[in-house]
Amino acid sequence: MLEAILSPDNLNTAYAKVARNKGTYGIDGMTTEQLLPFLEAHGESLRQSLLDGTYIPQPVRAVKIPKGNGKFRTLGIPTAIDRFIQRAIVQVLMPLYEAVFSENSYGFRPERGVEDAVKKCLQYFNSGYDWAVDMDLEKFFDSVCREKLLRLLFRDIHDERVLYLLGAYINSGIVDNGRPVHSSAGIHQGGPLSPLLANIMLNELDKELLMRRENFVRYADDMMIFCRNRASAYQALKHITPFIGKSLLLRINGGKTIIARADSIKFLGYGFFRSEDGYKIKIHEDSIARMKQRVSSFSGDGEKARHYVISWMSHYRLADAWKFIEDISPK
């Protein structure tokens, strides 16, 4: 498997994706524009160190991103070299896991996305399953048990060199404002590997829900379980909670996990409302308020606001985003 990861075609594809995505620098300061000259000069020695098992990933750089509620999410940005290697790993592992991932999982997978997940929710609501458990896993990325994750990888991957490299990335550490931060749990958000690792861990939850014949939609660590009535929703939450705690070693956030009717749900920024011919999709009020606040923060920079609004509308194209143009355009 390592030879497939390090094949010229796979590495060239990985480089092209990293260069196209750009992104900020890691702890070494190398930009994606500087990656190609580095690989031209040192690519063969880098490849050999990976084959020999002597390559050591760099720690990631902590970057704090506003969440819109006054809090911050910490991303861990790998170096350009490590993003390149991680991308090469993902390209080989993804087909292996796509064969076993659930149809109910939509986040960070080929040919799937937010719109597909929201449409599936709407399908459940209009099929009579209009009560939902809107489940929040408490600090999922910070709480993943690395030992549990490595056991899952060991079960599926049979090249010890690849397992060693994955373990090195999972335990690579983080640097915040120049200071190393110790952590014995969690996976870093911000690199190509983290979405795949999250899906590998949470696929165990998907399998358990499928065995229990639950209707659900999962987008990364955002999950909804659909039921016909409130009592069934409470039972679904009650029965899955011990599995999440004992088998996955994760916690449900009781303060953010809710049981509600479809028209009181927010999922991936969307909401739902009842009409004469069934439930429809809308942009959730919180998403609109957050967008207006963001536009007002651009302080008269019309061009910047315009680009943001276009991006926002693209995300919410399932709903009628155009009707908000007048409200959000800078005056």
For residue 265, give the nearest of 47, 140, 117, 155 by alpha carbon: 117
For the record, the structure tokens of 240 come out as 């899955």
For the record, the structure tokens of 156 come out as 């599926």
Confidence of residue 136 (pLDDT cuts 50, 70, 90): very high
> Is pLDDT larger for residue 319 or for residue 229?
229
Residue with tokens 């040919």: 111
Question: How many percent of the chain have pLDDT more than 90?
Answer: 79
- The amino acid occupying position 282 is K
Considering the chain, what is the average pLDDT of its residues?
92
Residue 25, CB-side half-sphere exposure with 13 Å CA sphere: 8
Residue 201, SS3 per DSSP: helix
pLDDT number for residue 326: 53
Mean pLDDT of 144-173: 96
pLDDT of 103 over the 90 cut: yes
pLDDT number for residue 327: 52
pLDDT number for residue 301: 78
Confidence of residue 179 (pLDDT cuts 50, 70, 90): very high
For residue 82, give the nearest of 188, 181, 1, 7 by alpha carbon: 188
> Is pLDDT larger for residue 183 or for residue 327?
183
pLDDT number for residue 309: 83
Mean pLDDT of 2-10: 97
pLDDT of 113 over the 80 cut: yes
271-288 pLDDT tens trace: 999 999 999 999 999 988
pLDDT number for residue 12: 97
Mean pLDDT of 242-260: 95
pLDDT of 325 over the 70 cut: no
pLDDT of 310 over the 90 cut: no
pLDDT number for residue 45: 97
Mean pLDDT of 134-147: 95
Mean pLDDT of 249-269: 95
pLDDT of 33 over the 90 cut: yes
Specify whether the CB–CB gap between 59 and 172 falls below 8 A. yes
CB atoms within 10 A of CB 48: 12
Mean pLDDT of 306-326: 77
pLDDT of 320 over the 80 cut: no
Mean pLDDT of 73-101: 96
pLDDT of 238 over the 90 cut: yes
- The amino acid occupying position 278 is G
> Is pLDDT larger for residue 233 or for residue 294?
233
pTM for this entry: 0.91
For residue 220, give the nearest of 105, 94, 132 by alpha carbon: 105
Q: How many residues does the chain have?
A: 331
- The amino acid occupying position 324 is F
